Structure 1
Amino acid sequence: MASSACPDGLSAVGILYQAASMVPLAHFLATALLFLVVFLYNFLEIHLLGDLFRGCRGDPVVLTFNSRSKIYEGVVSKCRILHGRYLASPWLSSPHLQTVFLNFFGRPPSVVYRRKLFSLHDGETVALDWLLTSDDDRTPIAVVVPGLTSDSFSPYLRHCAYSIAKHGWHVVVSNHRGLGGISITSDCFYNAGWTEDLREVINYLHQEYPKAPIFAVGTSIGANILVKYLGEEGENTPLAGAASICSPWDLVVGDRFISRKLVQRLYDKALAIGLKGYAQLHQSTLTRLANWEGIRKSTSVRDFDNHATCHVGRFETVDTYYRCCSSVNFIGKVAVPLLCINALDDPVCTREAIPWDECRANKNVVLATTTHGGHLAYFKGLTAKSLWWVGAVVEYLDVLHSSPFMHVQKKTQNFGMHHSLESDIDKVPYVNIVEDGMVAPIITEGTNLVTKDDLHVDRLSYDSNKPEVDGVLSVKKSDPTENIIGPEPVEPAHKEEAEGITKTIHDMTAPVKRSLNQLSRRYDISRWLLAYIAIVATWPLLGSALSFVFRKKLRGFLPVAWLRR
């Protein structure tokens, strides 16, 4: 039987150990470092070597559009940036490095917002942060819709607002309810499909600035909300054009993607931490409306939506919420010129959800995809001081504004109801507007929130007869006695009795009136139909009151038996 031992008495393992001990330690460290670099290169999806191999020319922008699209022929075909290439900053040649750098640093330009507080129909207050460039009432206005965990102070929004304003346009960042340092004052939270707030803001801007063309730019979840709004409104929107940046498109697909790999799960946990931080600022409301213990223990966006969004928005399941709010279901009904930009290596919004065929089928939509870019990052140049997508959007809006292809609102009678689903919660850098108008982050969370009582304003006035000063919205107290219709004049002999009956009727019908007013504002139902319902519902009281008040006047017309009843 052959022995496994060597002539000198050492085993094979011993010989290998002896040989390894003869190799210098520096060689082992170099090998370990090489394996680490290879691992990180693949884990972080770095593409520096690929960029160098292609001569640092970048990858071409791929455009998807309908072959008969006039928007492409008349607008996008004239955009130099969209027909060029995108090359990421060499030291940020990874979607993860770009995304992380954007959120923690971003190198945003300094901006000074002018804040206006806007009161929504349900009594909620949102912050509109403006960058005003001129007093001309024809100056174009760009409405910017933030993402899931963003407000006007976020770096990428400051990049966008600054570049558009530098081009001579007015910019207004429409912060979501509960964000931007404004506390929640109602039981309604926004979610990924909540379009009511955006609809009210756009309609208000159209009323206040009828001569100015209005455009919109949506980012991340804000892009999903914007596209859903455009699909709901169709031809009826006052927007002249829009741009969607890094939209998640299909929330069901995105939910599966963000929980698939280790690196995506890290983003999922980070977003969940941000959402829980936001929820803590509104804990008193969410404790009453949602499952607060479940919110506190949430470790993913799906967990948070299950314990918060589904409860507040009354969705049966999380997947029901995702399906109802996905903008992919509305892209086919978009009737305004829409540019959509997505990066194929987006670590948050997967390429699997991009609606290639739906965009190609709609003549009003042009989809631009790039190989690299990360999520809302797209840093370019050695210094990484600018974002590629911002330049592309500014050029697109400028060409569209000077073309005959801007959308013009076509008023259509709306018999249906908007299925703008209720609530969700978001978070992130909260801001405080100091006396000089500068936007600064709030240091102590929960103590510097602006409440409705702090505003000293009941509503924003839309009085067109009162001129604006330096672009500031005129604010006035709402008079509770306005628009109240008094009772019919009665004879002096019955004045006291009539007043008592009128007061009783008013007390009993006030809840009905409030409900009808809410229905009318929310669902846009015909007021004649609501008046008919009101009369039928309150006829016993109303009929008795009228017969008593007009008893003497009706004696010559009605039988005596009727008057004795």
Structure 2
Amino acid sequence: MPLIETESTISPYWLPNGHFQSIYPALFRKVNGVIYHRERIVTPDEDFLDLDWSYGENAKSGKLAILSHGLEGNSTRQYILGMVKLLNRNGFDCLAWNFRGCGGEMNKTARFYHSGASEDLDLVIQNALTRHYEQIHLLGFSLGGNLTLKYLGESGADLDSRIKSALVFSVPMDLRACSLSIIQPENKVYMHRFLNTLKPKVNAKAAFFPDRINVSDQKHVRTLYDFDHIFTAPLHGFDGADHYYEACSSKFFIRDIAIPTMVINAKNDPIVPYSSLPLAELKAHAQVCLVATPDGGHCGFRPRRLKNGVYWSEERALEFLSR
């Protein structure tokens, strides 16, 4: 499908660059009115996942959107709530699931979540497929977007026919390139924010699994790459950060995606370099379309004119899912 490069800017003048466009919504946007109903499901390894359901205004529409959040996010992040609110208003039920350890309670096993844990996404989808839904759409943000694309590529033509489309935003399709990008001085604010929540989780987990996690190794963690190399990779069966990135980067899985899929990334995304996207593969793909916006930041996309609190990304999602 063709690469679509939009020329018109999205953001207001007072958010002049990708950093402001990423940080402002994360800190200051408030989304009210979303009501969740939590369901806890058990994983094959006797862990659990917390699923938050929010039901649309048309209870019998038969349409469900499954939303996967980003690194150290959860179902209450503003980009999730804003999307759920608009989709609910337009007849979609929504299932915003929380990755292991992200739903407000530490998970039970030594493992956490990671960028390629598609087995957990599959468990969530299989749960949804037992319901009455005739149409299921997958939405992913940042890490959740990479996870969604990887899952679709792994499933290929074997994907359940009720899963109709996918839409992902601000996707780190090359995990190594993005991990190295976030080390840059101008991006360290994001890296430290992630590490400030990841490190306490490691400490809490080490108390229960001292044979798997050595807290003293934290002294070697100065970057997200270090964290992935020392903790993420060995805890999830990878031989270091580079092996983890190569095994889980969605750019290696997009070839086999078999349903209509849209990827939306901003060219000024401070976390995901535009040059890291597999542009040649995307241009040649029959099912996957890349929309490259000039601005919007990372999971930002606040429009110049805000109507009913709806962001540009949410308007595009409703248009895409309603086709």
Q: TM-score, normalised by structure 2?
A: 0.92
C-alpha separation in 2, matches of 1:294 and 1:110: 43
Between structures 1 and 2, the one with greater helix share: 1
Q: Please name the residue that 1:203 is paired with.
A: 126
The change in CA–CA distance for 1:253 and 1:109 in structure 2 (over 3 A counts) is: same
Q: Which amino acid aligns with 2:8?
A: R
Contact 2:31-2:81 at 8 Å conserved across structures: yes
Q: Please name the residue that 1:292 is paired with.
A: 215
C-alpha separation in 2, matches of 1:285 and 1:156: 33
The change in CA–CA distance for 1:372 and 1:286 in structure 2 (over 3 A counts) is: farther
* Aligned residue among 137, 140, 143 for 1:218: 140
CA shift digits 1:120-171 (9 cap, x unpaired): 2221111111111257455200000010110011111111111111111100
Q: Please name the residue that 1:356 is paired with.
A: 279
Contact 1:279-1:286 at 8 Å conserved across structures: no
The change in CA–CA distance for 1:341 and 1:291 in structure 2 (over 3 A counts) is: same
Give runs of aligned pairs for residues 481-496 of structure 1, distance below 5 A. none
* Aligned residue among 287, 290, 304 for 2:227: 304
Q: Please name the residue that 2:311 is paired with.
A: 387
C-alpha separation in 1, matches of 2:209 and 2:149: 28
Q: Please name the residue that 1:247 is paired with.
A: 171
Q: Please name the residue that 1:168 is paired with.
A: 91
C-alpha separation in 1, matches of 2:298 and 2:6: 21
Give runs of aligned pairs for residues 240-389 of structure 1, distance below 5 A. 240-259=164-183, 261-285=184-208, 287-295=210-218, 298-382=221-305, 385-389=309-313
C-alpha separation in 1, matches of 2:272 and 2:241: 18
In the TM superposition, what is the alpha-carbon distance from 1:95 to its structure 2 partner?
1.1
Contact 1:253-1:352 at 8 Å conserved across structures: no
C-alpha separation in 2, matches of 1:199 and 1:113: 21
**Any unmatched runs of 5+ in structure 1?**
1-62, 66-81, 400-565
Secondary structure in structure 1 of the residue aligned to 2:79 = helix
Q: Which amino acid aligns with 2:3?
A: T
**Any unmatched runs of 5+ in structure 2?**
none
* Aligned residue among 16, 30, 50 for 1:127: 50
Secondary structure in structure 1 of the residue aligned to 2:75 = coil
Secondary structure in structure 2 of the residue aligned to 1:174 = strand
Contact 1:193-1:228 at 8 Å conserved across structures: yes
Aligned length: 320
Matching of residue 109 in structure 1 with residue 32 in structure 2: yes
* Aligned residue among 380, 385, 398 for 2:322: 398
C-alpha separation in 1, matches of 2:7 and 2:313: 12
Give runs of aligned pairs for residues 496-535 of structure 1, distance below 5 A. none
Contact 1:271-1:300 at 8 Å conserved across structures: no
C-alpha separation in 2, matches of 1:270 and 1:139: 39
Matching of residue 194 in structure 1 with residue 133 in structure 2: no
Q: Please name the residue that 1:156 is paired with.
A: 79
Contact 1:125-1:185 at 8 Å conserved across structures: yes
Q: Please name the residue that 2:158 is paired with.
A: 236
Secondary structure in structure 2 of the residue aligned to 1:289 = coil
Secondary structure in structure 2 of the residue aligned to 1:379 = coil
The change in CA–CA distance for 1:197 and 1:337 in structure 2 (over 3 A counts) is: same
Contact 1:291-1:308 at 8 Å conserved across structures: no
Contact 1:242-1:337 at 8 Å conserved across structures: yes
In the TM superposition, what is the alpha-carbon distance from 1:84 to its structure 2 partner?
8.1
C-alpha separation in 1, matches of 2:265 and 2:23: 17
Whose relative contact order is higher, 1 or 2, with alpha carbons under 8 Å and at least 6 apart?
2
Q: Please name the residue that 1:87 is paired with.
A: 10
In the TM superposition, what is the alpha-carbon distance from 1:302 to its structure 2 partner?
1.1
Q: TM-score, normalised by structure 1?
A: 0.54
Percent sequence identity over matched residues?
26
In the TM superposition, what is the alpha-carbon distance from 1:83 to its structure 2 partner?
7.2
In the TM superposition, what is the alpha-carbon distance from 1:379 to its structure 2 partner?
0.7
Q: Which amino acid aligns with 1:255?
A: S
CA shift digits 1:520-540 (9 cap, x unpaired): xxxxxxxxxxxxxxxxxxxxx
Aligned-residue CA RMSD (Å): 2.1
Contact 1:140-1:170 at 8 Å conserved across structures: yes
Greater Rg over alpha carbons, structure: 1
Between structures 1 and 2, the one with greater strand share: 2
C-alpha separation in 2, matches of 1:371 and 1:220: 17
Secondary structure in structure 2 of the residue aligned to 1:208 = coil
CA shift digits 1:450-474 (9 cap, x unpaired): xxxxxxxxxxxxxxxxxxxxxxxxx
Q: Please name the residue that 1:64 is paired with.
A: 3
CA shift digits 1:90-132 (9 cap, x unpaired): 2112211121112211232331111111112221111111111
C-alpha separation in 1, matches of 2:274 and 2:80: 23
